[in-house]
A and B are shown apart, each in its own frame.
Chain A
Amino acid sequence: MKLETLTIHEIVDLLKNKEISYSEVVDSVLKQIEGQNEKYGAYLYTDPDGVREQAKALDDKGVTPQNPLYGIPYGLKDNFCTDHMPMTCASKMLENFRPPYNATAYESIKNAGGILLGKTNMDEFAMGSSTETSYFKVTKNPWDLTKVPGGSSGGSAAAVAANMAYYSLGTDTGGSIRQPSSFCATVGLKPTYGLVSRYGVTAFASSFDQVGPITKDITDCALVLNAIAGHDAKDTTSLNLDKKDYTQCLTKDIKGLKVGICDSFMGDNLQPEIRAAIDAAIEVYRDLGAEIVPVCAQFLDHALAAYYIISSAEASTNMSRYDGVRYGYRAEDYNDLEEMYNKTRSEGFGLEVKRRIILGSYVLSSGYYDAYYNKATRVRTMIREDFNRMFDSCDVLLTPTTANTAFGLGERTDDPLAMYLTDVYTVPANIVGAPALSMPCGFDKNGLPIGLQLMGPVLCEETILKAAFAFESATDFHTQQPKID
């Protein structure tokens, strides 16, 4: 049995029945990492000795799993603080940074008994859609080594797809969990803004950033969400709600569920095979007894523009903390404070980060503030109203996650606007703060995965998970494995 190909819930059952040991579980993924990470570049840092020690201690104690994540090894995107590993955000700026404290999401999984394998590659400070802006390494798509894994949580998705982790956490500001999940055939959820604490997660665009799971199936997604969702006094935007068990909604009965289809998500640029896969998914839902409802949006075509204005404005503010004073990179030769700032930031940040800072400062600058930032916040209101109207007549929206399957390494690096356009179907969920999930729903003629996105109203994670679980139970796309030697 290839343990590493199993899901969290399958592994936990084997652990409970004492059919396998904790050491066998961690060895299964460590063996994959040792054999494949050089090829795929999913991880920036791993701690195999620490991981083996933790598993051995559990075996020596002979404990049975206390909960569904107990003893299960996972990967963390390298923008989460953990006090025993470096955190680089894939930037030269934080190359030697060691966080003095832990992110709350990491603490929650630690308390649930999870074993952290290491930190995964990403676009620098999460700014990118292909993981190619990483200062350290290129991550390759496990389904095709010549393609990108998507981004910015590309390392987290590739690690799960290549069985180098049972699951991982990513962050999603404009699609950074869902788009790589679509490209790598994993399940990725961006929860409602405020559902998961952002404490200890490096800020990119604070009104959009959200932490979420990348898993192999929907049950695992619900299990990880159970562990990380919840109020945190250390994050002032954290919602104070009762804890839920998201596995409770995983029933296959979706009779009467209203699934909305919106033309704004099915533009002319949509790859024909993706359109066909979405049409087929609609038929699956119809067969399951769901009601297919056409809905329409008026302003969605402007979502991407509004997103890049607001997210860059917020990023330019967040990036001002990297000044070479308290932590991070500091340039070597300077004569005064100003030169120290200039050289530190110019040498420490990569080109894409500089582009966002300058774009963000431009749209906030006097003379342009009204035409860009202020205007975009009004468009954000109009898009929210659009979604409110759509969710008046449907329970979930079904859309493609991306307009194209994974593109070639280097194909869009010289054209930043083309790279930004990759996020066109994922940014709306961040603009309105609503939950959205990507799951595999097919493959194109070259065998590259196609992602289906389900969006719901704010705090309707259960509706999405239920709809996703029904689709997954009726199809076998999630069981497909990339060819890895």
Chain B
Amino acid sequence: MSISKEQASYIAELTRLELKENEIEGFVADLDKIINYVDTINQLDTTDVETTEHILDLKNVTREDVVAPSLSIEEVLKNAPEQEMNCFKVPRVLE
């Protein structure tokens, strides 16, 4: 299995990353080496083996809906790159 420059660029686009033209060749070559390495797990027969997504027996954790103190709007917004009227501000999405 190996990854092409086109595939890598497509995945990059999906993840909202742009690769610079001068770094893409090396990037894809490294990625290809890594993918060839991790592909070795396909030598193993995993028929009838269950998956482990998590080592704990994950359960939904619920609690009573009780009002408790929370962060102030100022605190929540203090790291916002742009804000307006107590909201996070982003470029217009709908015309």
Contacts and interface: CB of A to CB of B under 8 A. Distances in A.
Nearest to A383: B52
Given A325-B90, A326-B88, A417 B17 contact: no
A9 interface: no
A359 B34 contact: yes
A96 B79 CA distance: 8
A340 interface: yes
Nearest to A353: B17
B22 interface: no
Contacts of A362: 3, 7-8, 11, 31, 35
Contacts of A377: 51-53
B53 A98 contact: no
B30 interface: yes
B68 to A, nearest CB: 11
B44 A324 contact: no
A337 B91 contact: yes
A345 B4 CA distance: 22
A387 to B, nearest CB: 11
A324 B79 CA distance: 10
A433 interface: yes
A328 B79 contact: yes
Given A299-B44, A357-B17, A371-B42, A432 B30 contact: no
Nearest to B93: A337
A336 B42 contact: no
Q: B19, B51, B63: which has the most chain A beta carbons within 10 Å?
A: B51
Nearest to A206: B54
Contacts of B75: 100
A100 B56 contact: no
Given A341-B16, A371-B42, A379-B44, A308 B34 contact: yes
A338 B75 CA distance: 27
A108 B71 CA distance: 20
Q: A193, A375, A416: which has the most chain B beta carbons within 10 Å?
A: A375
Is chain B's binding surface mostly helix, strand, loop or mixed?
loop
B82 interface: yes
B27 A355 contact: yes
A431 B18 CA distance: 31
Q: B17, B38, B88, B90: which has the most chain A beta carbons within 10 Å?
A: B38
A327 B18 CA distance: 21
A345 B17 contact: yes
B46 A326 contact: no
A362 B34 CA distance: 12
B58 interface: yes
Given A375-B46, A377-B53, A324 B81 contact: yes
A133 B65 CA distance: 42
Interface string B53-79: 111101001010000000100011011
A323 B33 CA distance: 29
Given A380-B52, A381-B52, A233 B90 contact: no
User: 3 closest pairs, A vs B, by CB?
Assistant: A433-B55, A327-B79, A330-B81
10 contacts: A237-B56, A305-B39, A335-B91, A361-B15, A362-B8, A365-B11, A375-B44, A379-B44, A416-B30, A420-B37
Interface of B: 1, 3, 7-8, 11-12, 14-19, 23, 27, 30-31, 33-35, 37-44, 46, 49-56, 58, 61, 63, 71, 75-76, 78-82, 88, 90-93
Given A237-B56, A329-B81, A417-B30, 10 more contacts: A96-B79, A100-B75, A305-B41, A358-B12, A359-B31, A359-B34, A371-B1, A372-B39, A378-B52, A379-B44
Interface of A: 96-98, 100-101, 193-194, 207, 233, 236-237, 239, 299, 302, 305-306, 308-309, 316, 320, 323-330, 334-338, 340-343, 345-346, 349, 351, 354-355, 357-359, 361-363, 365, 371-372, 374-382, 384, 415-417, 420, 432-433, 458
